[in-house]
Structure 1
Amino acid sequence: MPVKSLSIPRRRPAIAAAALLSLALAGCNSDVSQVYSSSAPPSGKTGPVRIALLASSSQNGFNKAVYDGAVARAKEYGDVEVTVFDGKFDSQTQFNQVQNVASQGTYDGIVLVPNDNVGIAAAIPAAAQAKIPVATTLFPVGPKLTELKPQVEGIVSTVAANTEENSKKLAEGVVKYCEGKDPCRVAILIGQLQFPFDNLRNKAYRSVLDGHANIKVVATGQGNYDRDTSLKAMQNILQANPKLDVLLSNADQQTIGAQVALESAGVDLSKMYVTGGGGNQEAIKQVRAGKWAADQVDFPNSMGKAALEQVVNAVRGKPVTPVIDANTLGPVPVIVTKEILGEHPDFQGEWAD
């Protein structure tokens, strides 16, 4: 059922619909002018446009920021309406929502924050058949995790960044910090290694860190993008590894939970190298305060605006930008430090838990 309000982040891909995926991939095409190869493209609708925003979870601050951005852009148009659907962090729920939206005849376009970016690909051609263009945010849809060009028939635009490159940039900061420290003991806190993008992140981290003999990854915990889960994971890590030099985390909620465990154990975070991911408002505060060394920033509100615009363009028969690099949507670079934030005193982050 659609809902009209949202509220902590980021995605959690899962495994889904493998048997149907090959049907979706048969329509793979990086040329947006051909994404409707099995049906005629939209003729250029006039009048009100109704957009379904399929959130990975409506109880999620990152998704709420995407929704808020889409709504803000819709208000600028004046005749565009956005309805949000709760994906409940469940890949099958979101898969069904795509198919339901495609069959209802109620909506003209879809903005998607995918749970399972691979499995959901098999549902997208139903939207293409119904002439409902789809823009995906945060992650590309399809089997190639670092390919931002639309891979599946029906996807008209991808508003995302290269997760592998961003993860390597975050790990490169660890390498720089660890210079002269031997050993430099690193704990990694990842979302869930079963998810394709978390596995990609972890491999990207290790591809950078493992080339340095002084860096020792002493533990890898799974925080599930949740403060309490991350607090417990860090407590377990500290029991076996009371001395840590680095916490490399891919999500701000995880770092916030881990921070409670570390400080409760008497650890001074300013004497460690602590990272997060997402750029939420609490993370920006912690980096400015010097407790966290770096954060990888996302711009979900701006992503929602950009995705909404591309879908409306497609519905109205106007030119569509097939790839929008999400790293370029904000006023700060993708990796921020205290020094960088000092150059951008007004930046607070685009979302909150």
Structure 2
Amino acid sequence: MNIRKLTARCRQAALITACATPLAAATASADESDLTIGMSFQELNNEYFVTMQEALESAANSLGADVITTDARHDVAKQVSDVEDMIQQGIDILLLNPADSVGVETAVLAAQEAGVTTIAIDAQANGPVDGFVGSKNYDAGYKACDYLAQQLDGEGQVALLDGIPVVPILQRIEGCTAALDEYDDIEVVDKQNGRQERTHAMTVTENIIQANPDLDGLFSVNDIGALGSLIAINSSGQDIKLVSVDGHPEAVAEIQKPDSPFIATSAQYPRDMVRLGLGLGLAKYWGADTAPAEIPIDVELIDRDKATDFSW
């Protein structure tokens, strides 16, 4: 196992300590028993989660561990069933990316009853999880919408594109709203659910623009939805500035274009997130008493100036 390589992936000095314990334990214990790691994704039709899956498989391979991954396709009933199937296959650690923070509790309880160590990834899950690793989503919403307000010179009409009912989405909306509330002449005229899907977000954005012909800005809770909104904005011919969250390669490419309405995204780090989640899971699995309950990961606002040098 290449400890130096994995440790280097911990971007923040405070997180290196969190990584060190499980990595050292992995080196000492990898030959003692075979590990099976399961990860249930809310979806895999998104490069953000595909990137996470690739990083997990690479890290698990360095441990000599087996990996089982499933795609809930945003269906929490399917996700619960997927987790139950993985438990039957004998997983030791479950990395759970909830399709619904509340509805997935049944799966968390099943994992606990089976003695499986469970770490929630990207979105918190109800129930007795052993740990959580995720981005600072309030900050992501705040940074994107504060930047939007600045680019609008502190005045204008803004709409919000919401998403599925998981904690990160709620936090992004909270952060965005808090930022916009600091500008007396910014008015939030609409908030609708784009479902974080390109086609649906495009249709919703078309309706928002028709209902608000003086719209100046739009915040989307994720980049895939924002890319759908971008189609609607471009078709409208109106000057509407667009900001979002994720750092998706397509979004970053759009932001680089000088005349694009897409002006910024609060970028996450999916590779770091899943590696830290696996590290925390190993620490909990091997009984590390000092392992933290949560590991928050910073986000970075990527505007046109930064987009050229950014990638997951």
Which of the five TM-score ranges fits, normalised by the shorter chain? Answer: 0.7 to 0.9
Percent of aligned pairs with the same residue?
21
The one-letter code of the counterpart of 1:112 is L
Q: CA deviation at 1:180?
A: 5.4
The residue number in structure 2 matching 1:8 is none
Unaligned runs of 5+ in 1: 1-43, 143-151, 328-332
Please say if residues 101 and 166 of structure 2, whose CA atoms lie closer than 8 Å, have aligned partners that are also in contact.
no
- In the TM superposition, residue 259 of structure 1 has moved relative to its aligned partner by 1.1
The alpha carbon displacement at 1:85 in A equals 1.6
Match of 1:302 in 2: 272
Q: Partner of 2:215: helix, strand, or coil?
A: coil
2:34 and 2:204 map into 1 onto residues whose CA distance is 49
Residues 1:71 and 2:43 aligned together: no
Is the contact made by 2:76 and 2:104 (CA closer than 8 Å) also made in structure 1? yes
CA distance in structure 2 between the aligned counterparts of 1:259 and 1:105, rounded to whole angstroms: 43
Q: Deviations over 1:133-165 (max 9, x none)?
A: 1111101223xxxxxxxxx43x23311023223
User: 2:205: which partner in 1?
Assistant: 234
CA shift at 1:105, angstroms?
5.5
**Structure 1 range deviating more: 274-283 or 236-245:** 236-245
Q: Which runs of 5+ in 2 are unaligned?
A: 1-28
Contact 1:72 1:305 in 2 (8 A): no
Corresponding position of 1:284: 252
Match of 1:157 in 2: 131
User: 1:278, 1:297 within 8 Å by CA — same for their partners in 2?
Assistant: yes
Partner of 1:83: 68
Distance in 1 (CA, whole Å) between partners of 2:251 and 2:100 is 26
Aligned pairs for 1:302-341 within 5 A? 302-317=272-287, 320-327=291-298, 333-341=299-307
1:275 partnered with 2:265: no
CA contact (8 A) 2:139 2:172 kept: no
Q: Give 1:52 deviation, angstroms.
A: 0.9
Q: 1:137 aligns with which of 113, 121, 133?
A: 121
TM-score (ref. length: structure 2): 0.80
- Structure 1 residue 196: Cα displacement: 5.2
CA deviations on 1:299-338 (whole Å, 9 max, x unpaired) are: 22222222223223433445644322222xxxxx522212
Whether the 8 Å contact between 1:134 and 1:156 is mirrored in structure 2 is yes
Task: Please tell me whether the aligned partners of residues 266 and 301 of structure 2 are also in contact (alpha carbons under 8 angstroms).
Answer: yes
TM-score computed with the length of structure 1 as normaliser: 0.71
Aligned pairs, number: 281
Between the aligned partners of 1:335 and 1:113, the Cα distance in structure 2 is: 23
Q: Which secondary structure does the structure 1 equivalent of 2:36 belong to?
A: strand
Q: CA deviation at 1:82?
A: 0.8
Amino acid in structure 1 at the alignment position of 2:93:
G
SS in 2 for 1:47: coil
Deviation string, structure 1 residues 251-308 (Cα, Å, up to 9, x no partner): 111111111111122235xxx4320211110111122224222101112222222222
* Matching of residue 127 in structure 1 with residue 127 in structure 2: no
CA distance 1:195–1:76, shift in 2 (3 Å) = closer
Which amino acid letter does the alignment assign opposite residue 157 of structure 2? R
Aligned 8 A contact 1:73 1:305 in 2: yes
- Which structure 2 residues correspond to residues 238-257 of structure 1 after superposition, within 5 A? 238-257=209-228
Alpha-carbon offset, residue 81 of structure 1: 1.2
Deviation for aligned residue 1:198 = 3.5
What corresponds to 1:178 in structure 2? 152
Q: Secondary structure at the match of 1:245?
A: strand
Q: 2:141 aligns with which of 158, 164, 167?
A: 167
Query: Distance between the aligned counterparts of 2:154 and 2:53, measured in 1?
Result: 45
CA distance in 1 between partners of 2:257 and 2:268 (Å): 20
* Aligned residue identity for 1:302: D
Distance in 1 (alpha carbons) for counterparts of 2:45 and 2:223: 16
1:60 and 2:46 matched: yes
Q: How far 1:72 moved relative to its partner?
A: 0.9
Residue 122 of structure 1 and its aligned partner are, at CA, apart by: 4.1
Partner of 1:51: 37
